[in-house]
């Protein structure tokens, strides 16, 4: 029987660890800033959510998104060196917005509006949606806004942290209406081809085309939508998860 020195055994173990480790050479830096600590919503953030919890959840959500999108290497991922979250006040009344590698969460429209005892779950659900916007592909801005919003809701639903009710299957007037309407349609597309939504997101790295539906499902997107509506009936759209 061959004998191995301690140094050789260590080298083999180290090699195995390197092979099995995720192929990532960088880590996203997370920063959370409450810019309105005296606002009722800012005070509630400090009391019921907090910076430490937010930082911990950002790491969890980031990894969830990468895993869901089958992005295990740096080459497959959008490079985001630093991700900032600002608790602030938004003039347009939105619950949250993204700009660059920044997320802006409204102290009033979001945090202050969550029901008693639901601040953390509401905030976490919102963060799944917003962080998806940071890490998803959008075809360099060529993808329909409703589609990227639908994918953000899709990730939130897959997380199983759903703060608000979802539209019924078949709801909406058009496939790229956005939010819960498009999220339900994407689930239907997944039923036709498992993994469709993830594949679609990854194909949108550089550019978006409606032809991706034809390529992946064998039918134009308008035909897929027509068949989807026929299956579930013309259901009126109800409130989506987060209109942001």
Cβ neighbours of 16 (radius 10 Å): 10
Residue 165: the pLDDT is: 78
**Which pLDDT does position 239 carry in this prediction?**
45
SS3 32: strand
Residues 6+ away with beta carbon under 8 Å from 191 = none
Q: What is the pLDDT of residue 2?
A: 45
pLDDT of amino acid 238: 52
pLDDT digits (tens, 9 = 90+) for 35-51: 999 999 999 999 999 99
Higher pLDDT, 235 or 58: 58
CA nearest to 179, candidates 201, 209, 154: 154
| 240: Cβ contacts below 8 Å, ≥ 6 apart | 153, 166, 167, 178, 179, 180, 181, 183
Q: Per-residue pLDDT averaged across 48-60, rounded?
A: 98
**Mean of the per-residue pLDDT values of the chain:** 89
Q: 95, 113, 119, 91: which is closest to 105 by C-alpha?
A: 95
Percent of the chain at pLDDT exceeding 90:
81
Is the pLDDT assigned to residue 242 strictly greater than 70?
Answer: no
The tens digit of pLDDT for each residue in 18-30 reads 334 445 567 999 9
- For residue 17, what pLDDT band results from cuts at 50, 70 and 90? very low
Measured distance CA(205)–CA(203) in Å, rounded? 6
Q: What is the pLDDT of residues 176-227, one digit of tens each?
A: 999 999 999 999 999 999 999 999 999 999 999 999 999 999 999 999 999 9
What is the pLDDT confidence band of residue 157, given thresholds at 50, 70 and 90?
very high
């Amino acid at each position: 029987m061959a004998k191995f020195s301690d140094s050789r055994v260590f080298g083999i173990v180290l090699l195995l660890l390197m092979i099995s480790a995720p192929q990532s050479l960088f880590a996203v830096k997370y920063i959370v800033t409450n810019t309105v600590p005296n606002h009722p919503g800012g005070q509630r953030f400090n009391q019921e959510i907090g910076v430490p919890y937010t930082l911990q959840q950002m790491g969890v959500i980031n990894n969830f998104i990468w895993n869901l999108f089958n992005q295990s290497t740096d080459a497959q991922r959008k490079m985001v060196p630093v991700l900032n979250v600002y608790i602030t006040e938004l003039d347009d009344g939105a619950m949250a917005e993204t700009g660059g590698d920044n997320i802006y969460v409204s102290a009033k429209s979001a945090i202050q509006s969550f029901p008693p005892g639901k601040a953390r779950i509401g905030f976490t659900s919102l963060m799944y949606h917003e962080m998806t916007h940071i890490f998803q592909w959008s075809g360099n801005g060529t993808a329909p806004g409703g589609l990227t919003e639908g994918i953000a809701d899709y990730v939130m639903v897959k997380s199983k942290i759903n703060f608000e009710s979802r539209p019924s299957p078949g709801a909406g007037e058009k496939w790229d209406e956005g939010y819960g309407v498009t999220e339900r349609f994407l689930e239907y597309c997944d039923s036709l081809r498992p993994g469709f939504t993830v594949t679609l997101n990854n194909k949108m790295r550089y550019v978006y085309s409606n032809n991706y539906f034809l390529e992946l499902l064998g039918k134009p997107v308008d035909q897929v939508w027509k068949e989807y509506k026929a299956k579930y009936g013309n259901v009126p759209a109800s409130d989506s998860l987060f209109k942001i």
